[in-house]
Amino acid sequence: MKEGLPGACLAPSILSADFSRLKDEIEKVAPFSGMIHVDVMDNHFVPNLTIGPPVVASLSKATSLPLDCHLMVENPESLVKPFARAGAKLLSVHAEATVHLNRLIDSIRSEGMRPGVVLNPATPLSSVEEILEEVDFVLLMSVNPGFGGQSFIEGSIRKIKRLRSMMEAGGLETKIQIDGGVCRENARQLRDAGADWLVAGSAVFSAVSSSDAARELSELING
Ligand code: DX5
Ligand code: ZN
């Protein structure tokens, strides 16, 4: 079930990129990335508004990297088909945004995408314990979602370690993705705690050279 997923990698978040030149921004970091993270915000689930399926459809023609779309929206059910048609390869949904998580995860997989479940910093791991086998990845938020450039919440390290232990106890190959405040200073610690995929927005796209920043992060992740 987990075949074909990227190994340990950097997932640059285009939230902090220059939206007027997304193709160029992605090309600069692509050699050091396993996927491109796309933050979808609806101004209801989170207090910010970003991009949707039309932009993802254009990006899917502009890069061969898998597009990893993180839905921070109310009623995520209504966006599964539009994101599949737009070319999203991975689609993650917040456990806090649905009461029918199992059905939602099934629908993402039946649309041909790889499903992930996301937890806000204050949401306990127990809320996804029963679904760990059905998802391809769990995304732990290490900031409160809505904005790039926030500080990493230190307690997230313990949460990653506990999730990794749960996966090992169950013999699961479900990937662990971390999103929020990821930077050069904590990347190695996050990998050591058990994270597979590290999302980084401002640490990549607000750097003087996004390609140098992506290369350094990727070396820390794979070193
Ligand atoms: C926050 C988003 C993140 C954001 C991370 O709600 O989900 O993906 O882009 O940005 P940094 O890496 O700057 O914390
Ligand atoms: Zn995100």
Tokens of 206: 């607000």
Strands 9-12 and 137-141: unpaired
Q: Which residues line ligand 1 (CB under 6 A)?
A: 13, 15-16, 37, 39, 70, 143, 145-146, 148-150, 179-182, 199-203
Write down the pLDDT at residue 40. 99
Q: Dihedral through CA 43, CA 44, CA 45, CA 51, nearest 10?
A: -30
Domains and CATH numbers, the chain: 9-221 (3.20.20.70)
Res 178 pLDDT > 90 = yes
Tokens of 172: 């699961």
Ligand number nearest to the C-alpha of 17: 1
- Which atom of ligand 1 approaches the CA of 15 most closely? 9
Is 39 catalytic? The answer is yes
Write down the pLDDT at residue 57. 98
Local structure of residue 66 (DSSP, 8 states): P
Q: Cα(178)–Cα(139) distance, rounded to whole angstroms?
A: 6
Tens-place pLDDT, residues 38-79? 999 999 999 999 999 999 999 999 999 999 999 999 999 999
Gap from CA of 117 to ligand 1 centroid (Å)? 16
Q: Cα(21)–Cα(41) distance, rounded to whole angstroms?
A: 20
The pLDDT mean for the chain works out to: 98
Res 1 pLDDT > 80 = no
From 18, 141, 179, 217, the mutation candidate for ligand 1 (largest count of ligand atoms within 8 A of CB) is 179
Ligand number nearest to the C-alpha of 69: 2
Gap from CA of 83 to ligand 2 centroid (Å)? 15
Q: Cα(215)–Cα(221) distance, rounded to whole angstroms?
A: 10
Is 68 catalytic? The answer is no
Q: Are 105 and 138 in contact (CB under 8 A)?
A: no
Write down the pLDDT at residue 2. 82
Q: How far is CA 209 from CA 25, 53, 97, 182, in A?
A: 11, 28, 36, 17
Res 223 pLDDT > 90 = no
